[in-house]
């Protein structure tokens, strides 16, 4: 949807007058999955699609929230911007307002807010983080609150924890808030130190394949993985004091893994510790221009997520299997939380048409689901549009 049409929709909804527009992107993670809440490294990049927020401050004491994607809309008193509204989409922006209230910020005025997102819902490309970040940046700017960007990232993560009940790591909000065009973010999720790494893929494109099997992070499986990782940390801590799985090297883990008596927790930890090492190696290889090796590490990441972390499932595995059969595919893996959603593949430009046709046909035959494909552009983080 173009910006002029968005502006027109806002005026139709709320009437004439001055208003502003903001954008925050979805993200795709190239490698480093389920490492963020374990204090490890991730390597996401912001996408060119995401969430839009058009906003106008009003003299009312209420905030009106509407979306062009979903029918539910509501009006909330400024004093009640810390109370969830059922299980509706508005809890993401309300959850962000709640974080401002926690800081002692009082909203004397309300606002008209219109949301539009072009991240495919349920695709695992972090539409929720995009919505949280665009709200945080828009509110911060509209009320001239002066909160720095990194703090807005942390507030958006807390909104996800407290209003969506998903104990996500910091990666999604960080990529959405801090991304830069044509760069990926090599982020240490423990210290939040990061490096913007140029993604120079000569003759190669990033292709996102949507399984159209929606991922269900809030189903409890995600939080279950978090708990299993904590159990592994507790077991290892009897022999080597650690606070997170990122505190142990792959070599150390191999010597201590049999100390984790719970077989499931052991497998979860094996994925996390090996994935952290893979991610570090992948970034080194990318910087050196070794794209083939980067692709091999992507493949290893998916296999570990399938076998040890068990978050892939039939649809994601089928998509990856079919992708790897195509000549010109450098690497392919699931991306995001898993349990459905998307894969990310590095594909030589001359193979893209074949990739979309063949993978699409074979995937649909094996799953009964019609996939969607996006040739991704790496875009900027959250920003004001007008």
- pLDDT tens-digit series, residues 284-328: 999 999 999 999 999 999 999 999 999 999 999 999 999 999 999
Q: Model confidence over 104-113: pLDDT tens digits?
A: 999 999 999 9
CB atoms within 10 A of CB 239: 11
Among 2.170.190.11, 3.30.200.20, 3.30.70.890, 1.10.1060.10, what is the CATH number of 199-376?
Answer: 3.30.70.890
- pTM here is 0.92
Mean pLDDT of the chain: 94
The more confidently predicted of residues 179 and 167 is 179
CA distance 38 to 244: 6
Residue 340's pLDDT is what? 87
* Residue 216 pLDDT greater than 60, yes or no: no
Q: How many helices (H) and strands (E) does the chain have?
A: 11, 13
The structure tokens 């995600």 sit at: 222
Return the domain boundaries, the chain. Answer: 3-197+380-384, 199-376
The CA R_g of the chain, rounded to the nearest whole Å, is 21
Q: Which residue has the higher pLDDT, 125 or 351?
A: 351
Residue 168's pLDDT is: 81
Fold: same for 3-197+380-384 and 199-376: no
Long-range contacts made by residues 83-90, C-beta under 8 angstroms, separation at least 24? 84/163, 89/131, 90/65
Are the C-beta atoms of 340 and 215 separated by less than 8 Å? yes
| pLDDT, tens digit, 9 for 90 and up, residues 174-189 | 999 999 999 999 999 9
Give the residue numbers annotated as catalytic, written as ranges. Answer: 172
The hierarchical CATH code for the domain 3-197+380-384 is 3.30.230.10
> Facing residues of 41 across strands?
188
pLDDT in tens, 21-74: 999 999 999 999 999 999 999 999 999 999 999 999 999 999 999 999 999 999
Question: Residues 254-272: pLDDT tens digits?
Answer: 999 999 999 999 999 999 9
């Amino acid at each position: 949807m173009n910006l002029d049409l968005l502006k027109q929709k806002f005026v139709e909804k709320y009437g004439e007058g001055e208003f502003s527009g903001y954008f925050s992107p979805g993200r795709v993670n190239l490698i480093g999955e389920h490492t963020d809440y374990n204090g490890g490294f991730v390597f996401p990049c912001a996408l060119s699609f995401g969430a839009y927020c058009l906003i106008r401050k009003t003299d009312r004491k209420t905030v009106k929230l509407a979306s062009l994607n979903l029918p539910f809309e509501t009006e909330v008193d400024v004093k009640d911007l810390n109370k969830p509204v059922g299980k509706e989409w508005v809890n993401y922006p309300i959850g962000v307002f709640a974080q401002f209230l926690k800081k002692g910020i009082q909203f004397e005025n309300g606002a008209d807010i219109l949301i539009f997102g072009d991240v495919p819902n349920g695709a695992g490309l972090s539409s929720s983080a995009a919505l949280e970040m665009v709200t945080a940046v828009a509110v911060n700017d509209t009320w001239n609150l002066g909160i720095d960007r990194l703090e807005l990232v942390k507030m958006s993560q807390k909104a996800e924890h407290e209003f969506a009940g998903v104990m996500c790591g910091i990666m999604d909000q960080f990529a959405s808030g801090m991304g830069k065009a044509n760069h990926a973010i090599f982020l240490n999720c423990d210290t939040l130190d990061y490096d913007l790494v140029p993604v120079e893929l000569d003759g190669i494109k990033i292709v996102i394949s949507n399984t159209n099997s929606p991922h269900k992070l809030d189903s409890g499986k995600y939080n279950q993985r978090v708990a299993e990782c904590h159990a592994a940390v507790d077991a290892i801590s009897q022999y080597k004091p650690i606070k997170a799985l990122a505190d142990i090297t792959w070599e150390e883990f191999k010597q201590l893994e049999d100390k984790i008596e719970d077989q499931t927790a052991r497998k979860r930890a094996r994925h996390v510790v090996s994935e952290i090492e893979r991610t570090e190696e992948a970034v080194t290889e990318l910087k050196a221009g070794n794209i083939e090796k980067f692709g091999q590490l992507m493949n290893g990441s998916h296999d570990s997520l399938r076998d040890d972390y068990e978050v892939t499932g039939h649809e994601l595995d089928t998509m990856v299997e079919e992708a790897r059969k195509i000549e010109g595919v450098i690497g392919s893996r699931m991306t995001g939380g898993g349990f459905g959603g998307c894969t990310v593949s590095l594909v030589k430009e001359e193979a893209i048409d074949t990739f979309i046709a063949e993978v699409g046909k074979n995937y649909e035959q094996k799953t009964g689901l019609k996939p969607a494909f996006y040739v991704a552009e790496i875009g900027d983080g959250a920003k004001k549009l007008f």
